[in-house]
Amino acid sequence: MTHSRIAIVTGAARGIGAGVAERLAADGFAVAVLDLDETACKDVVARIEEAGGRALAVGVDVADEAAVQAAVDRIATELGDPTVLVNNAGIIRDNLLFKMSADEWDAVINVHLRGAFLMTKAVQGYMTKAGWGRIVNLSSTSALGNRGQANYSAAKAGVQGFTKTLAIELGKYGVTANAIAPGFIETEMTMATAERMGVPFEDFKAFVVKEIPVGRGGLPADIAHAASFFASEGAGFVSGQVLYVAGGPKA
C-alpha cells in the first residue's frame, strides 16, 4: 500500500475482533479498535502500537445510531477516511425458544444486525468516495440452525443476506462485501457458553472437537487470516460470499 488505509473493527477488545484488528495492523492498515468500553480496547491498541502500527481505541454502542455516527466521524478525523469495515461486534443471549424473552431476542438482533447496518451505512460513503472498500461481516455456523440460539441464528443468517445485498449495491463503486462464518472458536464467548452449561471448558472443547474434521478448535487467528484475505487488494473479484471457517464443510 502506498498510503496507510484505515480499517474499523467492531467488538475488537478481545477474542476474534482483537485477532482481526492485530492482523489488519500487521497487514499495514491503521486500525480503529471499537468496543462498548473504550478502556477495554487499550490493550489491543497498545499491542498494535508496540508492533509499529497505528491504532485508535473508540468506545461505541453499535446499535445506537448517533453514537455510531459520532464514532465514525472521530475515526475519519483522527486516523483518516475508513475504507475497510469488519462488523464483528456480537453478543449471545441463548435460551430455548419457549423460554426466550423478547428482550433476549431484541438485544441479539440489535447488536448483530442493526449494528452491522448502522456501521456500514456510516462508513460506506468513505468507500464509495475512494472508489475502493472492503466490508467483512461476521456470521456463524449457527446461521444453519443451533439449538438454544433462535435469536443468534436468525441474526447470523440475516448477516449473510445483508452481505449479499451490499455486494450487489456497492460493487460498482469498487467495494466488496463478504461474510465469514466461524465454527467453534476458542474465545471468552465460547468459554462463557461452557460455564453456562456447567461443563469445564476443556471437556466442552473435547466434545466439540471430536466432530471437527481437522481435529482441533479454531483460534481467533484462523478468522483473522480469512479477514485479511477479504480485505486485501487481491480479493477485489470476490464479493457476496460466505466463507465457513469451521475445520470442515458446513454449507
Digit-by-digit pLDDT tens for the chain (251 residues) are 446 899 999 999 999 999 999 999 999 999 999 999 999 999 999 999 999 999 999 999 999 999 999 999 999 999 999 999 999 999 999 999 999 999 999 999 999 999 999 999 999 999 999 999 999 999 999 999 999 999 999 999 999 999 999 999 999 999 999 999 999 999 988 998 898 889 999 999 999 999 999 999 999 999 999 999 999 999 999 999 999 999 999 86
Place of cell 490493550: 43
pTM (2 d.p.): 0.97
Closest CA to 204 of 218, 190, 223: 190
- By annotation, the residues acting in catalysis are 152
Using alpha carbons only, how large is the chain's radius of gyration in Å? 17
Sort 138 into a burial class: Cβ within 10 Å, 0-12 / 13-18 / 19+.
Answer: buried
Sort 174 into a burial class: Cβ within 10 Å, 0-12 / 13-18 / 19+.
Answer: middle
Q: Rounded to whole angstroms, how far apart are CA atoms 36 and 8?
A: 14
